[in-house]
Structure 1
Amino acid sequence: MRPRRRATVGGRAAAWVEAGPEGAGPPLVLLHGGGFDRADLSWGAVIDRLAAERRLIAPDLPGYGGTDGFGRPHDLGDLTDWLRKFLDHLGLPRIDVAGLSMGGGMALRLALDAPERVRRLVPVASYGLTGRLPFDAAARRLARSETRLAFYHAAAGSALAVRAGLFMAVSRPWTVPRDVVAEIREVAAEQAERRSFGAFLAGELAGQGRGLRGDLTARLPGLTRPALFIHGARDPLVPLRHARAATAAIPGARLVVLRSGHWPPRDCPGRVSREIRDFLDAPVTGSDAAAPGAGAR
């Protein structure tokens, strides 16, 4: 695990990884996913490739790594509110942002709620693109059951169990380096105690309806920031059709499809890094120069 910077954000301890030089443009904030994750687990290989070119900030999200959780069920709105407080603490009025899975939903929600704070965004295998969980009925039962903790305990106790689970995430799980497998086991042991993703699912499933509270599909046509979606062709958790529908709904959005599952930043770090670099370095347009409600920064 990389060294963290630490502060208090919203009354709770927060930690983040920072790399790269100060630049003239906004920094790139990298948001990790839920479950078996923390800042540099998903984004470490991308940080290695982009750190020479731009300032990168990858926070441990609430309940992960060195950042305190909410201590209660929470949803995508809670996480995005925390993100805004985190950016305020760092004095960042405007950012580029890339988010994986749950972090992708946060990136989209931030750009929808506060477009003046986002120059460009890259949702990767993003949450928020559907109102249903995969295998919805069974997934809802599992989300409300303590049985789900068995997955964390199995991964914490066995490298073989980790590699079996990676079949949903990467194209060649047997090639994932041993140090990454060891880090996943460490995170799994931590999350078996903290249960952060369970608290997120509890918040997302709260209410009388059958939908997820973080479903952003109805709002996507109103997204005004340039967006590049990156998605795995065989993602079982957020099937590719949802990314295609989201891209079609957002004016000017683009979609890159990779030979991957639900973990493109680790499965294809070189390709993901190049796509992000090219997208962020593309010529500035009028919409990039000043977002709605924001002056040029």
Structure 2
Amino acid sequence: MKYGSAQGATRRSQAAKAAGPFAIETMNLGTATDPLFVRVGRQAGNGKGVPLLLFNGIGGNIELLAPLAEKMPEREIVIFDIPGVGQSQMPKCPYRLGGIARIATQILDQLGIGQVDVLGVSWGGAAAQEFAHSCRQRCRRLILCATAAGMVMIPAKPAVLWKMATPKRYIDAKYSQRISGDIYGGDFRTNPALGAGLFRHVKWKSKLGYYLQLVAVAGWTSILWLPGLTQPTLLMAGADDPLVPLANAKLMHMLIRKSELKVFDCGHLFLVSRTDESVTAIRAFLDKP
């Protein structure tokens, strides 16, 4: 992936546009002759506390986490569409999670933000771990939701992994609603409306962008350096998560010295189906003195 310095990089403001609570703008993180346009969302908050940087799940665009941000109007929040996802430009070549961490730092630089708290969901949880590891001085506290330590993990059942191998759930609304209980578990098993509601927030781009995200985590693991993380860490997991079994959060809790574990009586997407309960846990963790 092409990366340019923050100095001299251009920004194309789209302040008139909004995605729920987020003001949207497009940033050029490349150069004038070799641009890389990334769609960025920012919730202003009230200026108090440390800003929160969000990393979304695989194939997820900004709008999918808008309901979570709406429940935390007091906090400044930054989120972006991964290149090739949502409305960000398709990258010219494959990338790794280290490249996503560098993109995040460029965005923060352009916004004039120094230190942040970081929250990552599923695939975004891996990106959040990489950011906390490689950009540790910029990460104050870390929240990992429904995620694992990469290739060294307790895997999902083959039938679940097969459904995740294709982005069809982001393309076909009926298919998405039909299989959401199988891959997300928890409340999605008994409430089909949750799957339909999730699909309404999707801004689909391309299959290539989805597969590039899969390539980015292929062979990646944090297992060797998790014990060295210095940030206080909140691990959030669902008791009925077919995609990332609860045992993964328990393993990471053992490895990360300054960690605590919060288990929800739900599935993979408790941030969506149990938003109020999730926000309560997030606030309690981030607001600790």
Specify the SS of the correspondent of 1:122: strand
- 8 A contact 2:239–2:246 mirrored in 1: yes
Q: SS in structure 1 opposite 2:251? A: helix
Match of 2:263 among 237, 243, 257: 257
> Partner residue of 2:187?
172
In 2, distance between residues paired with 1:222 and 1:177?
38
Task: Let me know the Cα RMSD of the aligned residues.
Answer: 2.6
Deviation at 1:137, TM superposition (A): 8.1
Q: Which residue of 2 aligns with 1:292?
A: none
Query: Deviation digits for residues 207-243 of structure 1, max 9, x if unmatched?
Result: xxxxx22x10111000000100111112222211111
1:64 alignment partner in structure 2 = 85
Q: Which runs of 5+ in 1 are unaligned?
A: 206-211, 284-297
Deviation digits for residues 70-111 of structure 1 (CA, Å, limit 9, x no counterpart): 233222222122212222222222001111012111111111
Give SS of 1:256's match.
strand
Distance 1:148 1:218, change over 3 A: closer
Cα shift at 1:128: 3.0
Aligned residue type for 2:104: L
Q: 1:155 Cα shift?
A: 5.1
Relative to structure 1, the CA distance from residue 256 to residue 132 in structure 2 (aligned partners, 3 Å threshold; closer, same or farther) is closer
Q: CA deviation at 1:127?
A: 4.2
C-alpha separation between the residues in 1 aligned to 2:170 and 2:84?
19
**Residue in 2 that maps onto 1:13:** 37
Q: Which runs of 4+ in 1 moved over 6 A?
A: 136-140
What is the distance in 1 between the residues matched to 2:210 and 2:148?
13
* 2:145 pairs with one of 124, 131, 140: 124
TM-score between the two structures when normalised by the length of structure 1 = 0.79
For 1:225-236, list aligned pairs within 5 A: 225-236=231-242
1:182 aligns with 2:190: no
- Distance, in Å, in 1 between the alignment partners of 2:151 and 2:260 is 18
- Residue 8 (structure 2) aligns with: none
How far apart are the structure 1 equivalents of 2:159 and 2:93?
A: 23
Question: Among 267, 274, 278, which residue is 2:280 paired with?
Answer: 274
Indicate the SS of the match to 1:96: strand
Bigger relative CO (Cα 8 Å, ≥ 6 apart): 1
1:78 is matched with which residue: 99, 124, 127?
99
CA drift of 1:24 comes to 3.7
In 1, are the aligned partners of 2:82 and 2:88 still within 8 Å (CA)? yes
Q: What is the count of residue pairs matched by the alignment?
A: 261
- Residues in 2 aligned to 1:129 and 1:197: alpha-carbon distance in whole angstroms: 17
Per residue, is there more helix in 1 or in 2? 1
Q: How does 1:70-219 map to 2 (within 5 A)?
A: 70-131=91-152, 134=155, 148-149=165-166, 151-152=167-168, 156-157=171-172, 159-167=173-181, 168-173=183-188, 174-176=192-194, 178-184=196-202, 187=203, 190-191=204-205, 193-205=206-218, 212-213=219-220, 215-219=221-225
Q: Is 2:70 the partner of 1:48?
A: yes
Between the aligned partners of 1:268 and 1:249, the Cα distance in structure 2 is 27
Distance in structure 1 (CA, Å) of the matches to 2:42 and 2:96:
26
| Equivalence for 1:287 | none
What is the distance in 2 between the residues matched to 1:87 and 1:127? 25
CA contact (8 A) 2:185 2:242 kept: no
Provide structure 2 residue ranges, at least 5 long, that are not aligned to the other structure.
1-18
Offset at residue 132 of structure 1 (A): 5.2
Percent identity between the two aligned chains: 25
Structure 1 counterpart SS, 2:171: helix
Task: Tell me which of 38, 62, 70 is aligned to 2:61.
Answer: 38
The residue that corresponds to 1:239 in the other structure is 245
